[in-house]
Amino acid sequence: MNDVYSTGQSNPPKVDAEFNTKRVLSTLELVLPAIKSNTQKYWFMGSIVPTALNKSLYREVHDLDIIVITKNVDKLLSSLYDLGYKRKPMNFLRVSELLGVYVFSHSTLLDLGFFVIDEEEKCYSITAGPVRVEIPLENLQAKGYNFTNQSFLGIDPSFAYTLSLLHKENPKRINEFNLYKSLEIIPAKWPIYTIYFFGIKANWMIDGLNSLLVLIGKIRTKFGLPYDPWQ
């Protein structure tokens, strides 16, 4: 049983604007049943975690990022196609796509990004060609979240906080960091996973790519463009 996550603080900072709340709820309402019925385990990550902690949107949410364990990827994908989703072309600037993530777009719902992982005796793993990612089992302890009338499982907020800090220069993160601090959430120690390239430990690969994206993001914001190059 996964308890719904709560903190010692009852009044996290809120932003009164509605943003795209209706679109977020519509996506959760349609996508959650497909996830729950076609996976053995799943964890939401990304912006939906602090959104649920805040109990309201504090900025536009563009996509849902999800980690899944499934015995039948094709069935899961088929259920998404039935909802009107389409696979997006690969974007090599999105680091996650180098690890075999499935990325989908929809005409009216939020984009989706799926990491399909395997559960082993001592860790969770992702394998994409010569690259292997190992995630300690304790780093994916599912936490329960509620957002209005939708309930779902996600990663621990301390790990969501750490992943956000990889791009702390991104202007969209400001309210997010204020929220984590107000809830007295401590970021998990980095790194939260280990990457191997042809069997050799190579965390520098993702660290280097993230550093490049930080540089690109800083340059883009100076010209009034969105920080993320795929937006």
Q: Give residue 22's pLDDT.
A: 94
CATH architecture type of domain 21-222: 2-Layer Sandwich (3.30)
Span 199-228, pLDDT tens digits: 999 888 777 877 777 777 778 787 787 766
Indicate if the pLDDT at residue 92 is higher than 70: no
Sheet holding 118-119, edge to edge: 118-119, 123-128, 131-136, 194-197, 200-201
The string of DSSP codes covering 145-213 is EEETTEEEEE--HHHHHHHHHTTTT-GGGHHHHHHHHHTTPPPPPSPSSEEEETTEE-HHHHHHHHHHH
Residue ranges of domains in the chain: 21-222
The pLDDT value recorded for residue 99 is 58
Amino acid 159 reads F
Tell me 4's DSSP state.
B
When pLDDT is averaged across residues 51-69 and rounded to a whole number, the result is: 94
Q: Cβ distance 160 to 54 under 8 Å? A: no
Mean pLDDT in residue range 122-136: 90
pTM of the model: 0.84
